[in-house]
Each structure stands twice: as C-alpha cells, then as structure tokens.
Structure 1
Amino acid sequence: MTILVSGLSGQLGHALVDHVPAKTIGLVRRSTGTTRLRRRIESRSREIELVEGDITARDWGLDRAALERLAETVTCVVNCAGSTDWQGTAESLQMSNVVGAVYGVGFAARLAEISGRPVPYLQTSTAYVAGSAVGVVPETRLGAGGDRTRYEHFKWMGEQAVLRRAAELGVPLLLARLPALLGDSRTGETLYKNSLYLLSERWNDLPFGLLPAMKNARVDCVPRDTAAKVLIALAEGIATQSLSDVEIVHITNGAQAPALRALVEAARMIDQHAFGKWVRIVAAGRDHVVNVSALGERFGRLSAKWQNTLIGLRYIGLDRSFDRGNLLTALNALGKSAVAPSISLEAAARLTFGLHPGRESIVSPKHRSLVRFGA
C-alpha cells in the first residue's frame, strides 16, 4: 500500500510521520517551508517523499506529469489538512475545510482515471460537527442546525460536499471524525497553535472561579499517536476494499470518555501545585453552556483569547458521547481491534494538563490551561 497524505505538518500529521507505512507520499504547500517536517522525517528515519501542491486548487495543484507518476503507485488518498482556527474568517474556513476537501475527492478520482483502478479517499473531520448535540452522537450524516459555531459549520459543510462529490464521481469514501487530539501518549509531545481545543489560558480569570458544565459532561480526547494508528488501519482497510460498507466512523473513546469532574480532580491529585487558582464546576443546563459558548461570536469586541475560552466550554461542558460502533466493527473486520482508542483517567489528566511524568510541564506555569488539545 502506498498512501498519499496531506497535512503532515499538523498535530495529527506529526504522529502520522512516526507510524505511516514505508511507502508514503506527503503533500506539502509550496508557500510554506518544510524544514521542520523534513527534519522530523529524517530524525525518525522515515522514507517519506514530499510533493509540493495545494489542496485549495484543482487536482491539489499538481500537473499532468505529476498525476501520472503518482497514479502508478498511490492506492489511497488521506486528507488531514484543513483549518482548525476557531476565529478563522468564513473565506479561510471555506477554502480549507470545504473547497480543499472536495478537490481531494476530485484528486482521487483523477488518479483512478489515469491508473484504471479505484483510488479511495479518506477524509478527516471533527466530531464537533455535532454542534451542541447531547446524548449519543451517531456515526451518521448529520442534519443542518443553527447552533454550530463558524468553525463547526464549515466542517459540516465540508462533510456534506465531500459525501455528495464522492457519490457523483464514484470514489470509495470513508469519513473519519476525530475529537480533541492530545499530545503523544508516551512522550506528551504536542504542537502549539493559535487555536487549540482548550479552555484557553484564562483558567485563573474565570469569573468567581466557576466553570459551568452539565452534570455528566464528558471530555473525549485521544492521544495523537493513537489517532494516527487508527487512521492508518482504516486507510489500509479502504485501500483493500475491506470497508466498503462503512461510510462514517468516530475515532473516539465513546462511552468510555472521561467525565469532566473526574478529569479535573485527577489532575489536582496528580499535582496540586501545578495550578494557580482552582475552579469549581457548577451544574448548568445544555442551553446555558451553549449560549455562553456562543457569546464570543455574538460580541466581536471580545478578545480572541476570551472567544476561544467561551467556545471551548461546549467541548468540555456537554453531556454527550460519540458513538463508535462503526469504528469497532471496522477495526474488528481488519483484525486491528487493539488500536481502538482507550485512555485511562490518569493518562488523560496528565496529557490534558501537561503533567506528563519525567518532563517539564508542557504548559508554562504562567499559563495553565484546562485543556491543552492539539488541532
């Protein structure tokens, strides 16, 4: 199997570098330097070929000669690229999360046309296309809704567009939704980006030290290396046509996701001196959490940090779990059940708060975050 992957410079991409098969091709943008990515590839002794392109252009910016060369070997296209900026403009989110994803389907179709064999397409998305849904979120197509944030809305639009385009072109498709990504499960290594899945750096500034959340709120978080291993297994499955009956999967902990209250208390027990002020979780209804999380977009005068703080509430404060029946069925069929996400409460607390043993805290003592999730 030879997979072509876009987005290797991101949080998930960094983990993929460590775990992808020997024959892997990475698509990188011409406009950005690849020095750090190349160094990582070399330090891991990985043989990953890098090809310059652009997901926001037709055929991902590759000419006919490049397409013909890739068509000889590529058996699966995996798109991990996209904008995770909660404060991104509508234009930037549209181009990265909708246009780029749809062009990826066309790119896979073009490789199939040239090679004369199917080239499946694996599109990564976010579990948060569920918006403010509570309860069990199914691994199915989700309907339109008015309570999604701008980021969630364009991710949802990208899913709808990809599903339609794949059906039109006859491209085998698998849509993989991911929750918040933590750092590496072994080392705690993570990336810092402007828009992380976090309760921002306002832990000490919460009014009266109160954190509103539903009584049984859960925080579904997966180490990035775990997500990478699952994604590779799924890519192998669709490349061999072993997963033809599966359309959408959640790479999540499902009902085993840690409860917010337990996660916070576990972190305090691990290192009670790692935090400044402590917060008290107060019971709130779904509508309260959703309304507060939407204030950042309703009132533009708020700073970007405060807007991220408020938006982050819905990712930790809602009582819901993401179904993963399709995922488990797919992994069992592939004989890869062992790679299904499973994280202990202690591991989740250590990685979330940067309390990984044997390392200095990932988060600066002056900026302790509740959730230091990578994009």
Structure 2
Amino acid sequence: MSGAGAEQERPYGNGWSSYPGGRQAGPPQTRGMRILVAGLTGQVGQGLLEACREAGDEAPEVIALVRRRPRAPQVFGPAVTQQVVGDVCGPGWGLGEAGLEALGRIDAVINLAGATDWTASHAVLDRVNVLGAAHGLDVAQQLSERLGAAVPYLYAGSVFVAGLTEGRVTEDLLTPESDRTPYELSKWTAERSLMTRARHDGHPVLVARIGGVVGNSATGRTTRRSSLYQLVSRRDEDKALRVLPAQRGARVDTLPRDVIGESLLRVLAHGRTTAFVAWRSGVVAQVAAGERAPTLAAILAQLESVDEGSRYHVPRLVPVSLRTLETVTRVGTRYVRWSRQAGNRLHGLRYTSVNRVFERGRLAGLTGGWLPAVPLETVLRVTFDLAERPVDAPTAELPLGRFQ
C-alpha cells in the first residue's frame, strides 16, 4: 500500500499517543533493554521497528531471530543491532547451547512470528503458532537459568481466539468452542498452553492478544491487506461483493501496526519498572481499539463519502443473526474448497461482522494507564489508501470581513 497521508494526521502529540483523557504521553522508556524478537519481517514486527524508530534514544536494543540467513541492515533499520539465525518451529528456536550463550544479556523474549493465512493447513498453523509459542517460552526459561534472573516472555496472540463470541470479550482464558477455525484454534491452543505452564512455575508471561492490523498510520506501508479491505471490492474487480452479512452494531477492531508496536513497547517499559510482577504466572491483555472501535456501518458510510474517485464498490449491509454467521462461515470453511482469496474473504466475515467489544482494562494496567486511540479517518486512509483531501484556501471573493 502506497503512502498517502501527512504526518500531522497521526493520532499523536509530539509523535506519541494521547491518553484517553487527553494527557500526552512521552516515548516508552525502554532505553537500555536488550530484547530478542522473532517475526520482525511480519506486519506486527514491522510495526514494532517503526515504534522503535519513533522512540529514538529511548528505544530498546533489538536482537532479531531470522530464518536461514541474516538480512541486509536496511531491512530492519538501526534498532536491530544483532541478527541470529534460527527457526521458531525448532526446539529452542534452533539456537542451540552456543547460540544462547552468544546472546549475552537478554531482558525479554518477544515472539511476533505466526502463520496468519486463514486458509493454511492445520499442520502449518500448529507448527508455527502452537509449537513456535512453546519453544519461545523454552528460550526465555533457558536464558533465565543462564542469567540467574527471570527473562519475561511476550507472545503475540490474537483477539480472534474469541471465535464468534459476541458482547464483551474479557481478557481471560476463553472456554473451548466447537466453532473455531483452524487459525483461531491454533492461537487459542497456544495461549492456553503458555498460561498453563506459567501458572505452574510462575514464569512472567504475557499473551498480547492483537486485533486487526492495518499499515503504518503515517505512511500507509503494509505487508498485507486487512480483512476489512478484502471484504470491500475495488470497482475494477470482476467479482465484487454486493452485500455483506453482519450483526447489527458489528464493530471492526483494527489498529495501525506502528500503534500496536508502540503498545508493545509500553507494556515492556511499564513491566520493567515493576519487575514484571503483573506478568508472573501468566497474564492476558488485548491490544485492540476496544470500546473505541467503530461500527462496520459507520466505516462503510464514511468510506462512501470520502472515496471521491469511486474506486471501491461499497457493499450493502444485510443484518443477520449470529447463528446465520456461524452457519455460513462453518459450512463455507469446512466443506467447500475455496481459492486462497475467497477463503480469506469468508474468514474475514468473522472479524468484521460480530457485535462485540474487546475489553482493555488489563492492557491499561500493564501500560500505566495508556491506551491506543486512532481516529476513524486514519484507519480509513491507511486501509483503503485514500489520499487526504486538500484544504480549500479561501477565495478573494469570500466576504471574511463580516466575521472579524
């Protein structure tokens, strides 16, 4: 997605997000931390690096886990000071004794790696999302033994472990449900496994359930299109979606990737000041727009009004029950063979068409009161690559003198 926005449109004051009450927050205080991070080439990983660039001198030192071979320095930027070759799917992330020893001091292990193709096989999803999560905790515990101090572990989960749960989704472990897709089940299994282990041995673990992700809030850069974008067809497409089934009041919970990256830095910064006490024995927090997430109806109406080039065919909303949504997505994903694009579109209905709110009270507690907040205009601009409207200059004929 090409950049189309201006820096002043960022939902920040002096480069950093506002508290809900309007007070400004400075950059997260992570200077001096050394963090081992897997998954930096993905959408959330890129958002973390963008947040590190914004933090400047207050950013942590990042050691990147990469597959097969080191990347060119410009791929990651100055925040990454070291690269180690490994694989989240292997025991100990494939680092071995020598690799762990070479890392030196590590203050936190961050796992942002994940298989996010909703049409991927059970085997791929379980190998990356379930085993990768468990191996990451192994790495954190092995480093703890070497360093003589607990090394906290942050795992990027997904709010969509909620499946089709409606209403308020709490920041607690969720019960088994039969309607989860393979992707949702893999993320749900991973977080349950991590919480079970953390509760058994008291290791500091945070499962950060992340909501929908769109590109950078300033540049619009993205590594993949969001589920919302996939459900709104461009007019030059052969098969446009004419209608979109959704519950009344359905919300679309998305955040720009750099704002998610900032959220992760803030939980690290606050955790360091408290010795990660709140993480001990495992904790779940939802990095999402929560109660500020706009409704699907509001998004589509706003898109129709600002899409001056008429590049998109805005579908008509058709109110349906949750049972109907469950039937459509269950039958469609389990018994019909779809193309990758069509399959991901069908899965996307689950993430844009349910009337629910992801609670964020625990996230606020883990950041010292800060919560991410992004205007609807920013989400639309980034999601649909909309150029900002130029400000009309007053003409010479306008009788401004009457208002002076």
Which interval holds the TM-score relative to the shorter structure? 0.7 to 0.9
Q: How does 1:82-161 map to 2 (within 5 A)?
A: 82-161=114-193
Name 1:24's counterpart in structure 2. Answer: 62
Q: How does 1:146-225 map to 2 (within 5 A)?
A: 146-192=178-224, 196-198=226-228, 200=230, 203=233, 205=239, 209-225=242-258
Q: CA deviation at 1:230?
A: 0.7
- Cα 1:271–1:352 change in 2 (3 A) is same
2:304 to 268, 285, 292: 268
In the superposition, the TM-score normalised over structure 1's length comes to 0.86
1:234 to 243, 267, 274: 267
What is the CA deviation profile of residues 292-331 of structure 1, one whole-angstrom value per residue up to 9, with x for unaligned ones?
2223322333322222111111111100010000011222
Q: CA deviation at 1:228?
A: 0.2
Name 1:54's counterpart in structure 2. Answer: 87
- Cα 1:221–1:202 change in 2 (3 A) is closer
Tell which structure's C-alpha radius of gyration is larger.
2
What is the CA deviation profile of residues 311-354 of structure 1, one whole-angstrom value per residue up to 9, with x for unaligned ones?
11111110001000001122226xxx2xx211112112222222
Identity of aligned residues (%): 34
- Cα 1:147–1:47 change in 2 (3 A) is closer
1:348 equivalent to 2:385? Answer no
Give the whole-Å Cα distance in 1 for the aligned partners of 2:156 and 2:314.
36
Q: CA deviation at 1:242?
A: 4.5
- Cα 1:232–1:291 change in 2 (3 A) is same
1:74 equivalent to 2:106? Answer yes
Residue pair 2:232, 2:315 contacting (<8 A) in 1 also: no
- Cα 1:279–1:198 change in 2 (3 A) is closer
Give the whole-Å Cα distance in 2 for the aligned partners of 1:85 and 1:33.
24
Name 1:321's counterpart in structure 2. Answer: 357
Give the whole-Å Cα distance in 2 for the aligned partners of 1:47 and 1:273.
40
Give the whole-Å Cα distance in 2 for the aligned partners of 1:181 and 1:277.
22
Give the whole-Å Cα distance in 2 for the aligned partners of 1:295 and 1:341.
36
Q: CA deviation at 1:199?
A: 5.6
Name 2:5's counterpart in structure 1. Answer: none
Give the whole-Å Cα distance in 1 for the aligned partners of 2:340 and 2:254.
23
Give the whole-Å Cα distance in 1 for the aligned partners of 2:304 and 2:48.
32
Residue pair 1:296, 1:308 contacting (<8 A) in 2 also: no
What is the CA deviation profile of residues 215-245 of structure 1, one whole-angstrom value per residue up to 9, with x for unaligned ones?
1000000000000011011123334445423
What is the CA deviation profile of residues 182-227 of structure 1, one whole-angstrom value per residue up to 9, with x for unaligned ones?
111111111137xx534636736356x1111111000000000000
Give the whole-Å Cα distance in 2 for the aligned partners of 1:201 and 1:251.
23
Name 1:311's counterpart in structure 2. Answer: 347
Give, as a single letter, the amino acid of the residue that structure 1 aligns with 2:346. Answer: L
- Cα 1:265–1:276 change in 2 (3 A) is same
Give, as a single letter, the amino acid of the residue that structure 2 aligns with 1:23. Answer: E
1:294 equivalent to 2:327? Answer no
Residue pair 1:199, 1:308 contacting (<8 A) in 2 also: no
Give the whole-Å Cα distance in 2 for the aligned partners of 1:81 and 1:342.
25
Give, as a single letter, the amino acid of the residue that structure 2 aligns with 1:314. Answer: R
2:76 to 41, 44, 49: 41
Residue pair 2:204, 2:276 contacting (<8 A) in 1 also: no
For structure 2, list consecutive stretches of 5 or more residues without a partner in the other structure: 1-32, 53-58, 390-404
Give, as a single letter, the amino acid of the residue that structure 2 aligns with 1:227. Answer: I
- Cα 1:47–1:305 change in 2 (3 A) is closer
SS of 1:146's equivalent? Answer: coil
What is the CA deviation profile of residues 251-289 of structure 1, one whole-angstrom value per residue up to 9, with x for unaligned ones?
111111011010111111111433353321111111112
1:253 equivalent to 2:289? Answer yes
For structure 1, list consecutive stretches of 5 or more residues without a partner in the other structure: 359-375
Q: How does 1:348-367 map to 2 (within 5 A)?
A: 348-357=379-388
Residue pair 1:97, 1:155 contacting (<8 A) in 2 also: yes
Give the whole-Å Cα distance in 2 for the aligned partners of 1:214 and 1:67.
49
Give the whole-Å Cα distance in 1 for the aligned partners of 2:152 and 2:346.
38
Give the whole-Å Cα distance in 1 for the aligned partners of 2:231 and 2:363.
34
Residue pair 1:267, 1:349 contacting (<8 A) in 2 also: yes
- Count the aligned residue pairs: 345
- Cα 1:240–1:69 change in 2 (3 A) is farther
RMSD: 2.1
